[in-house]
């Protein structure tokens, strides 16, 4: 049960409950402002009947001229208040964004997620997102994945072709990385 509208600047004075979610990055003001100014129609907020902010999504899309290049949309932030979880707020926001991207005939939608954010992963996978690559130390305290959702334009599933094999072996890679880091530290210290 919700009100859907464009995310507006003054919402930032009221999104504290969402900003305190440990999985939500603390983006600075310029992040929000540039996204909102550049892609005004792609940011949305969902409000509860008492006008509390339930969740919001900031999106972007590349505006480059077509060609062989695969145009895509990107979900920059998706946040849902913990009191309003499991009500379909997140999927509603994403579905609307996918619709817009379909309208603009993009090839796929991409986003990044923390490796530990299991409930978010569940949501994305239920909507058809696929792990595209593994991003070691992408977050200050966690590794991340890049996920992709092919859209209708991408009939042959081309956008998933570059999918990196390391996803399957990420543990090996991670351990190698850790080892290298330890060695480097050791070398630097001596």
Q: Rule CB under 8 A: which residues touch other proteins?
A: 1-6, 8-10, 12-14, 16-17, 19-23, 26-30, 33-34, 36-38, 40-41, 47-50, 52, 82-84, 86-88, 100, 103, 116-118
Cβ proximity to other proteins: between 103 and 126 the closer is: 103
Q: What's the min distance (Å) between Cβ of 156 and other proteins? A: 26
Of 52 and 137, the one with the shorter C-beta distance to other proteins is: 52
Question: Which is nearer to other proteins, 39 or 132 (by Cβ)?
Answer: 39
Angstrom distance (rounded) from CA 9 to CA 6: 10
Least CB distance to other proteins at residue 172 (A): 25
Whole-angstrom Cα distance, residue 63 to residue 108? 14
**Beta strand pairing status for 130-139 and 72-80?**
unpaired
Instruction: Please list, in sequence order, all residues whose beta carbon lies within 8 angstroms of the beta carbon of residue 82, skipping any fewer than 6 positions away.
Output: 17, 21
Q: Which of 1/187 has CB closer to other proteins?
A: 1
Q: Which residues pair with 74 in a beta bridge?
A: 60, 110
Task: Report the residue number, 95 or 125, with the smaller CB distance to other proteins.
Answer: 95
Q: Could you tell me the smallest distance in angstroms from the CB atom of residue 83 to other proteins?
A: 5
CB of residue 33 to other proteins, shortest distance in Å: 5
119 vs 75: CA distance, rounded Å: 17
Closest distance of CB 56 from other proteins, Å: 14
3-class SS of residue 185: helix
What's the CA gap between 89 and 108, in Å, rounded?
21
Helix (H, G, I), strand (E, B) or coil at 66: coil
127 exposure class (CB count in 10 Å sphere: 0-12, 13-18, 19+): middle
Rounded to a whole number of angstroms, the minimum distance from the CB of residue 38 to other proteins is: 5
| Closest CA relative to residue 98, chosen from 38, 154, 143 | 154
Nearer to other proteins, 39 or 72 (CB): 39
């Amino acid at each position: 049960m919700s009100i859907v509208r464009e995310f507006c600047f003054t919402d930032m004075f009221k999104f504290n409950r969402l900003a305190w979610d440990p999985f939500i990055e603390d983006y600075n003001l310029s992040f929000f402002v540039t996204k909102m100014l550049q892609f005004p129609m792609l940011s949305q907020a969902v409000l509860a009947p008492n006008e509390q902010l339930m969740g919001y999504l900031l999106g972007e899309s590349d505006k480059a001229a077509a060609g062989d290049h695969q145009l895509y949309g990107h979900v920059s932030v998706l946040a849902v208040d913990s009191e309003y979880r499991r009500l379909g707020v997140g999927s509603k926001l994403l579905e609307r964004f996918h619709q817009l991207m379909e309208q603009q005939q993009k090839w796929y939608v991409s986003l990044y997620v923390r490796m530990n954010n299991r409930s978010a992963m569940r949501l994305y996978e239920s909507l058809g997102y696929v792990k595209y690559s593994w991003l070691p130390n992408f977050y200050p305290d966690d590794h991340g994945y890049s996920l992709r959702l092919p859209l209708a334009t991408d009939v042959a599933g081309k956008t998933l072709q570059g999918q990196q094999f390391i996803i399957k072996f990420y543990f090996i890679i991670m351990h190698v990385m850790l080892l290298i880091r330890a060695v480097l530290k050791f070398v630097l210290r001596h």
